[in-house]
Amino acid sequence: MQKFINKTIKPVLIIGGLGTAAAGVDAFFPRFAVENVQKLAFIPDYTIFVQHWGIMVCLMGVFMVAAAFIEAWRVPILLYGMLEKAFMVYLVGSNLGQAFADRGLEGSGAMPRLYEAGLHGRKNGRGFYLYPKTKKKGKKDANPKIYGLLGGEPRRSVDVAEIQDRLALLMVNEAVHCLQEGVISSPRDGDLGAILGLGFPPFRGGPFRHTDAVGRDGLRARLEKLAGEHGKRFEPAESLKTMAKGFYDE
C-alpha cells in the first residue's frame, strides 16, 4: 500500500492542485466566476466572501503542486486546509447575522455563552443535554442550566403542529426569498437543493411543491400568525403576498 501511495501521490497532487488553483478566478474576477462558472446570481454585498474563498483556495492549489515535489510540505498542507476552512466558517458566521438582521435573523449569541459557561457538549458531558460517561439508550436528560443561559420565555409545552410549522415554514419562507432575490434560478432547483442538500422532507416535494400543495394563502396566514407571536423572521416573503399563481402553475 505504501508503495502504491508513493507512486500515485505526485500526479494526484499536481492534477488536484492545478484544478484547485483555478479558483483564483473568483479572487480576481468575482462577478464573472459566480455568474459563468458557478452559474449563480452575483450579489455585490458578498464580494468579499467570494474573493476570500478564491484567494485561499488558489493558494491551497499552489501549495498542493509544490507538495508534489517537496515531501516535507504534505502534512503542513493538510493543516493549512483545516485552518483555512475554520477561518472561512468564522468569517461567514460572524457576518451572516448582521447581513440578515433586518429580517430578524441576527445571531442570538447563545453558542458563545454556552462555550464560556463550560458547556461543550459531548466533549465534557454537558451541553444542551447531559451525557453520562456510560452510554445508555433512550432519551437524554436536558441540562437544567441551559434555560438560564438561553433566556427567553418561561418553559412551556409546545404542540407538535406548532413545532413542525416553526421548523418547516421558516425554511419554506427562506427558499422563497432565495428565488425572488435570484439566489436560485427556478423553483425546481430550489426543491432539488432543499431535499438533497438541506434535508427538507422528500415526501413534501420540496419547499415550492409544498407551498403549491398546501396553498399559498393558507401558508401565508400561518407565517403571519408566527410572525405575530415570534418576530419578523417569520414575516412572509413578498412573493407569497403578491403572486397570483402557484410556483409550478403554467
Which is it for the CA torsion 87, 42, 241, 171, positive or negative? Answer: negative
Residue 20 sits in the same domain as residue 85? yes
Query: Is 247 domain-assigned?
Result: no
Residue 173 sits in the same domain as residue 122? no
Per-residue pLDDT for 118 more than 90? no
Residue 182 sits in the same domain as residue 126? no
DSSP symbols for the chain = -HHHHHHHHHHHHHHHHHHHHTTHHHHH-HHHIIIIIS-----GGGHHHHHHHHHHHHHHHHHHHHHHH-GGGHHHHHHHHHHHHHHHHHHHHHHHHHHTGGGT-----HHHHHHHTT--BTTTTBSSEE--SS--SSPPEE-TTHHHHH-SSPP----HHHHHHHHHHHHHHHHHHHHHTTSSS-HHHHHHHIIIII---GGGTSHHHHHHHH-HHHHHHHHHHHHHHH-GGGPPPHHHHH--S-TT--
Dist CA 241 CA 224 (whole Å): 11
Query: Is 193 domain-assigned?
Result: yes
Query: Is 248 domain-assigned?
Result: no
Residue 174 sits in the same domain as residue 138? no
User: For residue 193, what pLDDT is reported?
Assistant: 92
Q: What is the mean pLDDT of residues 181-190?
A: 89
Of 108-112, 171-175, 240-244, the poorest mean pLDDT is in: 108-112
Query: Is 32 domain-assigned?
Result: yes
Residue 144 sits in the same domain as residue 169? no
Q: What is the mean pLDDT of residues 75-87?
A: 80
Residue 137 sits in the same domain as residue 219? no
User: For residue 162, what pLDDT is reported?
Assistant: 87
Domain of 47, in residue numbers: 2-99
Instruction: Report residue 173's pLDDT band, with 50, 70 and 90 as the boundaries.
Output: very high
Per-residue pLDDT for 39 more than 80? no
Residue 85 sits in the same domain as residue 123? no
Cell of 160: 407538535
Per-residue pLDDT for 69 more than 90? no
Instruction: Report residue 156's pLDDT band, with 50, 70 and 90 as the boundaries.
Output: confident
The pLDDT tens digits for 196-224 are 998 888 998 999 999 999 888 889 999 99
Dist CA 214 CA 105 (whole Å): 25
User: For residue 206, what pLDDT is reported?
Assistant: 92
User: For residue 1, what pLDDT is reported?
Assistant: 62
Dist CA 177 CA 187 (whole Å): 11
The pLDDT tens digits for 2-28 are 676 667 888 888 888 898 888 889 889
Last residue of a domain, one of 59, 77, 99: 99
Residue 166 sits in the same domain as residue 86? no
Residue 164 sits in the same domain as residue 146? no
Per-residue pLDDT for 241 more than 70? yes
Query: Is 124 domain-assigned?
Result: yes
User: For residue 152, what pLDDT is reported?
Assistant: 66
Residue 115 sits in the same domain as residue 165? no
CATH code of the domain containing 206: 1.10.1040.50
Per-residue pLDDT for 172 more than 90? yes
Per-residue pLDDT for 158 more than 60? yes
Dist CA 106 CA 96 (whole Å): 8
User: For residue 5, what pLDDT is reported?
Assistant: 65
Query: Is 55 domain-assigned?
Result: yes
Residues 161-187, buried b or exposed e (16+ Cβ, 10 A)?
eeeebbeebbebbbbbbbbeeeebeeb
Q: Are strands 129-130 and 141-142 parallel, antiparallel or unpaired?
A: antiparallel
Q: To which residue does cell 502534512 refer?
A: 75
Query: Is 128 domain-assigned?
Result: yes
The answer to whether 186 touches 168, Cβ cutoff 8 Å, is no
How many domains, the chain? 3
Q: To which residue does cell 484567494 refer?
A: 55
pLDDT, the chain, mean: 84
Query: Is 188 domain-assigned?
Result: yes
Q: To which residue does cell 439566489 refer?
A: 183
Residue 178 sits in the same domain as residue 221? yes
Residue 95 sits in the same domain as residue 10? yes
User: For residue 2, what pLDDT is reported?
Assistant: 66
